[in-house]
Structure 1
């Protein structure tokens, strides 16, 4: 019996505790109805596949708009994704396929070359940015660099349309103007996001690799020549 008494000593004081009648001992566990958000708004388990795809496409489209107006919102950084960069990379690779440089190998290496330049270059710039003290996360930086290829992809579409009429001095000038403007906008849009996340005395060290990255892609677009035009 002594052992029982010793075990009950820590709870001996509970007998003196009383519950006031004014304190309710019942409650309501129902979810309050009001302007606050519920878990149903974030659940996509019961969402149709069509709605999921449309929602993702709208999100990608909004980020394209933020690339065109980079100072208006930080959505590109807050809600990052890699669907847009992947779409742009595939589109650019397909548009560059069939050039004179890959006529003998049927475009395979040219397609892979674009992927290597885009993704490996983005990773190198991201690592460089992080080593210099950047505040953006790894995937945020990849998202920005990938989405900012949009102007150069548009320039590639314009160049393919212009080349339908053949090559010549006028065509070359038009392509030069379009690619130069697109290169400048890609660089401006990406540095508007990346440079502000760096220490003030290291911004130039971040901008320079970005400049080279888009310059290489722009050069590929500018020097593209359809294989059927070569003799």
Structure 2
């Protein structure tokens, strides 16, 4: 018991300690609001549906501009989405409907064909890029490859208009020129974003599948003929 008393003696006076009312207690206990305000700025819970749709449409439009004028920018990679690629894929598939090659089966399988070729090809290129040590995420790569189909989709629309003319030789020459330019445009625009994410000694291994991917789509557009 004596040992216990000796051990507790240094703390014996703590029970008598009290804060005098004459001593002011000062201190800043305010909570910083900068982080909460920053979160509120990016919060879309209270945003009207119209503003959300317009904001998304502006984001898709900005990505189209990046494809039209390819340059090294993180905007297409940072704010990735799949709305633009989906829209381009559906548009391209609809434009390829009604060709002479599928006139006997009402063109049903061709829509699924285009859909599978575009998305399966994009997934294969993305997996290949990741296996070669690419730094882009899976969906970032899909976003880039999908948005870069835009020149080829525009070429398909031009080819449909050219096919309405009477001269087949002139129409084919115009279509060949348009598809060739669009093919080079799509390949160059995609490699601007994808090549920099690869190790320097493996860039060619990434560009080659991209070349084949857009070549297949270009060939489908060039060989399209109206079923009239």
Indicate whether the TM-score tops 0.5: yes
Residue pair 2:93, 2:110 contacting (<8 A) in 1 also = yes
Partner of 2:126: 126
Match of 2:111 in 1: 111
CA distance in structure 1 between the partners assigned to 2:155 and 2:146 by the alignment: 15
Would you say 1:163 and 2:163 are equivalent positions?
Answer: yes
Q: Per-residue CA shift, 1:200-220, capped at 9, x if unaligned?
A: 111111000000000000001
- 1:191 and 2:183 are equivalent in the alignment: no
Q: CA deviation at 1:109?
A: 0.5
Residue 93 of structure 1, CA deviation: 0.3
Partner of 2:150: 150
**Alignment partner of 1:179: what SS?**
helix
- Per-residue deviation at 1:22? 7.5
The offset of 1:18, in angstroms, is 9.0
Which residue is 1:98 aligned to? 98
Unaligned runs of 5+ in 1: none
Q: Secondary structure at the match of 1:227?
A: coil
Match of 1:174 in 2: 174
SS in 2 for 1:38: helix
Q: Gaps (5+ residues) in structure 2?
A: none
Q: What's the CA shift for 1:23?
A: 6.5
Residues 114-171 of structure 1 deviation map (CA, whole Å, 9 limit, x = unaligned): 0100000000000000000111110000000000000000100111111122451111
Provide the C-alpha distance between the structure 2 equivalents of 1:59 and 1:205, rounded to a whole number of angstroms. 31
Q: Does 1:207 align with 2:203?
A: no
Residues 1:27 and 2:29 are matched in the alignment: yes
Question: CA distance change for structure 1 residues 201 and 26 in 2, over 3 Å: closer, same or farther?
Answer: closer
Which stretches of structure 1, 4 residues or more, deviate above 2 A after TM superposition?
A: 12-19, 21-32, 36-40
| 64-73 or 151-160: bigger deviation | 64-73
- Aligned partners of 2:76 and 2:144 also within 8 Å: yes
Instruction: Give the count of matched residue pairs.
Output: 217
Distance, in Å, in 1 between the alignment partners of 2:192 and 2:211 is: 13
Q: Choose 1 or 2 for highest CA Rg.
A: 2
Counterpart Cα distance in 2 of 1:70 and 1:133: 23
